[in-house]
Amino acid sequence: MRDYLLDLVEHSYDLGCIDLIKVTGTDTETSVDGLAEDKSVVLQAKFAAPVADYIGTFGMPNLAKLKILLNIGEYKENAEISVKRQERNGENAPVGLHFKNAAGDFKNDYRFMVSEIVAEKLKGVKMKDVPWDIEFEPTTASIMRLKMQAQANAEETTFQTKTEDGHLKFLFGDHSTHAGDFVFQHDVGGKLSKSWSWPVQQFIAIMNLTGDKTVRISDSGATKITVDSGIAVYNYILPAQSK
Amino acid sequence: MIEQDNLTLKQKDYAVFLPAISSFYSGYIGKERFPAGDKNKIIGDRLPKGLPNMESMNWLNSKESLFPYKYSLYSAGHANMDLSVTVPKEDMVRNREADTIMLADSGGFQIAKGVWPGAWADPKDKACEKKREQVIAWQMGIATHGMTMDIPTWTYLDKQASEACGIKSYQDAVDATLFNNEFWMASRSGDLKILNVLQGSNHTEADQWYNTMKKFCSDKYDRPFDGWGMGGQNMCDVHLVLKRLVTLIHEGLLEKGHHDWMHFLGTSKLEWACLLTDVQRSIRRHANSNFTISFDCASPFLATANGQVYTNLRTEDRGKWSYMMEATADNKKYAHGTDSFRDVVLRDGIHEKFEDSPISSRLTIGDICHYAPGDLNKIGKEGKTSWDSFSYALLMGHNVWQHIRAVQDANVRYDEGILPGMLVHETFERVLFRDVVERIFEARDYNKSMQIIDDNSKFWDSIRGTRGFTGKRIVNSASQFNALFS
């Protein structure tokens, strides 16, 4: 349980822009949805296998608190972390997590958000079909180069993408500012005709996550980054930034 | 003969600030004009010895005011719109001198906030029909200029307001405004000049809105609307403002004699007072010599309601420009005090600086701090404050003068070459806002002008607006999110 939760918290809260997720579980599938408050990132994830404890629909608010609980020393070894359920509207619904250390003398309760409220706060969104013009698996070296440019251009909150000679370039700043650019991925095959902007902080935060990553960019103004942690497959959709 | 600080004369060719009149304030002008109908004879008892009458605080009265100023805005949202009856509190607005300019806001904001409930998305809704009739008749009856009854695109985001006004989506807001505009077009008569309000929460929405509503200013109609109202992102985003103006000129919708007025809603930043003057001057030089920009805010009134007064103006070269507001003297120990208000607030360290207005210079500390310990207020109780209602009115008058003066002085300083930090970039070379604006409009070529605008995108982003997406938030995901997700 703790590993699942840690994976979930890392791949949502640790982005720095998501503090509430919605979990929808059936006996065949467990999915997770999240949305950054500024709509810069849409999270849509599925666990590799259904999680029996998560059957139902509920919200996990205040993920910062959940992260603290998961990292408390008392709960790292032989602790019992269980999903509490209650009868609600004729259904046996998950209502929270109960933490108990090995000795049973240190406890915490983390409460879930009920399905009606989380449905209001995180309205389900459906993405229109867009063609993904570029698809690749970013290298560790490219991610390092991105971080260097981001550091050198710390005043820029966004970077732009374009294809040039078959390579994908990331560009920081413009002719009126300090600027920098570099090839993020060689020989991407596809072509981008529009120079969309993307949020630096969020993009790097996703690149920092544990798991195998695939980046897809659409000329329609969307980037989808898939991160497979082994426990779940997380899809992060970044709408392009514009005025 | 009263000594006047004639602010109308000092207005020169600056973009025009319109004080958004508070009906609380105008009520006191009315109380004096209609003493018989006033059971509460507060004016007679309370008028400071230094003030000849309440008209001295009525800037729309050029003969009796201590600071004549012929421009104002009044909102339908605060007004009694029944013109068949005499309403003392409306009299400052209704019965004013012929050459004053009064812009009547339509109450779209009240719809968006759910204060005017109804099924606004339904053209047949009777309550909305009645409100439309009331507002346009009222505008024609009291104003020189009127805003269309726009429904801001953000209306549906406030669940409670959305329920109250029946606007459930962006498209509902657009459709309801379209209908309201048609109603305004069909109902207009007389001299009222109508401003076509532009809304939109980002560039994409603003462009969509403009393309939908621009026909009302075109020769598609026998008597098209007479100018533009800038709401939503249009009023706080220089990039969008400049793009829109270039487009308007290019599309023949900023024509001399036809579209001479543009109003920016709720704009209080001093830097904007200067930049709008730059834009106005440039457009007068290159596109429409009659063009006038106005902007309004209610800050002088709202500040007083929060117990604050304007104390002085800050306009350091390359600095942030603002009028300073601070909580002022409110102490029962000052009741009946005869020392001047300014002397006391400086002597007792309440303000480090305090610049007198034509009103405050005539006030004693006792004129503001009216209640002494043990005094009962209007509801027969001893309150904590030494202020009575009239104290607020006096300080509102002071604040209005301060705000108009701040706007005009900021423009004077700006013309002298003292620059607000926001309107100059000196990171690599010296780039002045006014120079870039001049290049944009003197180009007289749509593509060239747009290129100059886009080339200076980062400059525009650094000019913060009063609200909406400004600064770094101006580039965001909202527009693409809406395009990609349903």
Q: What is the pLDDT of residue B277?
A: 98
With residues binned 3-state (H G I as helix, E B as strand, rest as coil), the percentages for chain B, rounded to 5, are 45, 10, 40
Diameter of chain A measured on Cα atoms: 64
Q: Which residues contact A140 (CB under 8 A, 6 or more apart)?
A: none
Cα dist from B360 to B22, B38, B345, B399, whole Å: 19, 26, 11, 9
| Chain B residues closer than 8 Å to A158 by CB | 475
What's the mean pLDDT in B130-136?
96
Q: What is the pLDDT of residue B38?
A: 55
A38–B480: do the CB atoms touch at under 8 Å? no
Question: Out of A3-12, A73-82, B405-414, B474-483, which region has the weakest mean confidence (pLDDT)?
Answer: B474-483
Q: What is the pLDDT of residue A18?
A: 95
Q: What is the pLDDT of residue B35?
A: 83
Cα dist from B389 to B28, B396, B437, whole Å: 10, 11, 45
Q: Which two tokens stand for residue A52?
A: 């029996």
Q: Which two tokens stand for residue B371?
A: 């209640």
Q: What is the pLDDT of residues B32-79, one digit of tens each?
A: 999 875 555 557 778 999 999 999 999 999 999 999 999 999 999 989
Query: Nearest CA to CA, how far is B300 from chain A (Å)?
Result: 31
| Chain B residues closer than 8 Å to A15 by CB | none
Query: Nearest CA to CA, how far is A40 from chain B (Å)?
Result: 5
Query: Nearest CA to CA, how far is B5 from chain A (Å)?
Result: 43
Distance of alpha carbon B48 from alpha carbon B52, whole angstroms: 8
Distance of alpha carbon A4 from alpha carbon A234, whole angstroms: 13
Tell me which residue in B456, B478, B485 faces A176 most closely, judged by beta carbons.
B456
Say how many CB pairs under 8 Å bridge A and B.
73
Helix axes B446-455 and B433-442, enclosed angle (nearest 10): 160
| 3-class secondary structure, B159 | helix
| Chain B residues closer than 8 Å to A222 by CB | 480, 484
B204–A127: do the CB atoms touch at under 8 Å? no
| Chain A residues closer than 8 Å to B474 by CB | 243
A222–B455: do the CB atoms touch at under 8 Å? no
Q: Is the pLDDT of residue B88 over 80?
A: yes
CA atoms lying within 13 Å on the CB side of residue B279: 26
Query: Nearest CA to CA, how far is A102 from chain B (Å)?
Result: 46
Containing B129, the helix (H) or strand (E) segment is helix B126-142
Query: Nearest CA to CA, how far is A20 from chain B (Å)?
Result: 18
pLDDT cut 70: percent of chain B above it: 98
For residue B398, name the pLDDT band (cuts at 50, 70, 90).
very high
| 3-class secondary structure, A62 | coil
Helix axes B446-455 and B238-250, enclosed angle (nearest 10): 180
Q: Which two tokens stand for residue A31?
A: 């999915």
Closest CA to A70 of A7, A113, A24, A22: A7
Q: What is the pLDDT of residues A110-152, one digit of tens each?
A: 999 999 999 988 888 899 999 999 999 999 999 999 999 999 9
A180-185 and A167-172 as β-strands: parallel, antiparallel, unpaired?
antiparallel
Query: Nearest CA to CA, how far is B266 from chain A (Å)?
Result: 21
| 3-class secondary structure, B97 | coil
Closest CA to A1 of A73, A56, A69, A82: A82
B480–A125: do the CB atoms touch at under 8 Å? no
Distance of alpha carbon B152 from alpha carbon A79, whole angstroms: 53
| 3-class secondary structure, B70 | coil
Length of chain B: 486
- For chain B, how big is the Rg over CA atoms in Å? 23
Find the residue in B nearest to A220 (Cα): B484
| Chain A residues closer than 8 Å to B479 by CB | 242-243
- Contact yes or no for B72/B297 (Cβ under 8 A): no
- Contact yes or no for A97/A65 (Cβ under 8 A): no
Q: Which two tokens stand for residue B21?
A: 């009149």
| 3-class secondary structure, B277 | helix
Burial pattern A10-22, b for ≥16 Cβ within 10 A else e, equals bbbbbbebbbbbb
Q: Which residue has the tokens 């605080």?
A: B57
Q: Which two tokens stand for residue B121?
A: 């998305």
Query: Nearest CA to CA, how far is A77 from chain B (Å)?
Result: 42
Backbone angles phi, psi at B148, to 5 degrees: -65, 160
For residue B468, name the pLDDT band (cuts at 50, 70, 90).
low
B476–A39: do the CB atoms touch at under 8 Å? yes
Best residue of B460, B477, B486 to probe chain A, by most A CBs closer than 10 Å:
B477
For residue A159, name the pLDDT band (cuts at 50, 70, 90).
very high
Q: Which residue has the tokens 């101006």?
A: B474
Tell me which residue in B240, B476, B480 faces A221 most closely, judged by beta carbons.
B480
Judged on CB neighbours under 10 Å (0-12, 13-18, 19+), B134 is middle
What's the mean pLDDT in B102-126?
92
Helix axes B389-415 and B270-286, enclosed angle (nearest 10): 50
Closest CA to B164 of B90, B112, B223, B91: B112
Distance of alpha carbon B341 from alpha carbon B85, whole angstroms: 39
| Chain A residues closer than 8 Å to B469 by CB | 243
| Chain B residues closer than 8 Å to A39 by CB | 476-478, 481
Best residue of B162, B452, B481, B482 to probe chain A, by most A CBs closer than 10 Å:
B481
What's the mean pLDDT in A92-101?
94
Distance of alpha carbon B231 from alpha carbon B245, whole angstroms: 14
B483–A239: do the CB atoms touch at under 8 Å? yes
Q: What is the pLDDT of residues B450-464, one digit of tens each?
A: 999 999 999 999 999
Cα dist from A19 to A45, A63, A163, A233, whole Å: 15, 5, 34, 19
Query: Nearest CA to CA, how far is A19 from chain B (Å)?
Result: 18
CA atoms lying within 13 Å on the CB side of residue A83: 22
Find the residue in A nearest to B471 (Cα): A243
| Chain A residues closer than 8 Å to B239 by CB | 243
Closest CA to B159 of B169, B150, B151, B149: B169
Q: What is the pLDDT of residues B197-219, one digit of tens each?
A: 999 999 999 999 999 999 999 99
Q: What is the pLDDT of residues A45-62, one digit of tens each?
A: 999 999 999 999 999 999
Q: What is the pLDDT of residue B466?
A: 78
- Contact yes or no for A10/A209 (Cβ under 8 A): yes
- Cα A81 to chain center, whole Å? 23
Please give the mean pLDDT across all residues of chain B.
94
- Contact yes or no for A98/A107 (Cβ under 8 A): yes
Tell me which residue in A125, A174, A241 faces B477 most closely, judged by beta carbons.
A241
Q: Which two tokens stand for residue B401?
A: 């003068």
Q: Which residue has the tokens 């005869």?
A: B338
Q: Is the pLDDT of residue A90 over 70?
A: yes
B484–A242: do the CB atoms touch at under 8 Å? no
Four-residue CA torsion sign, B326, B332, B333, B338: positive
| Chain B residues closer than 8 Å to A176 by CB | 428, 455-459
Find the residue in A nearest to B203 (Cα): A243
B484–A238: do the CB atoms touch at under 8 Å? no
Query: Nearest CA to CA, how far is B459 from chain A (Å)?
Result: 9
- Contact yes or no for B343/B436 (Cβ under 8 A): no
Q: What is the pLDDT of residue B37?
A: 58
Interface of B with A (CB under 8 A): 202-204, 237, 239-240, 427-428, 455-459, 469, 472, 474-481, 483-486
Find the residue in A nearest to B478 (Cα): A39
- Contact yes or no for A187/A168 (Cβ under 8 A): no
Q: What is the pLDDT of residue B442?
A: 97
Q: Which two tokens stand for residue B200?
A: 């939109």
Find the residue in B nearest to A157 (Cα): B472
Closest CA to A159 of A168, A170, A148: A170
Q: What is the pTM of this model?
A: 0.89
Q: Which residue has the tokens 């080339």?
A: B455
Q: Is the pLDDT of residue B478 over 70?
A: yes
Q: What is the pLDDT of residue B205?
A: 93
- Contact yes or no for B185/B168 (Cβ under 8 A): no
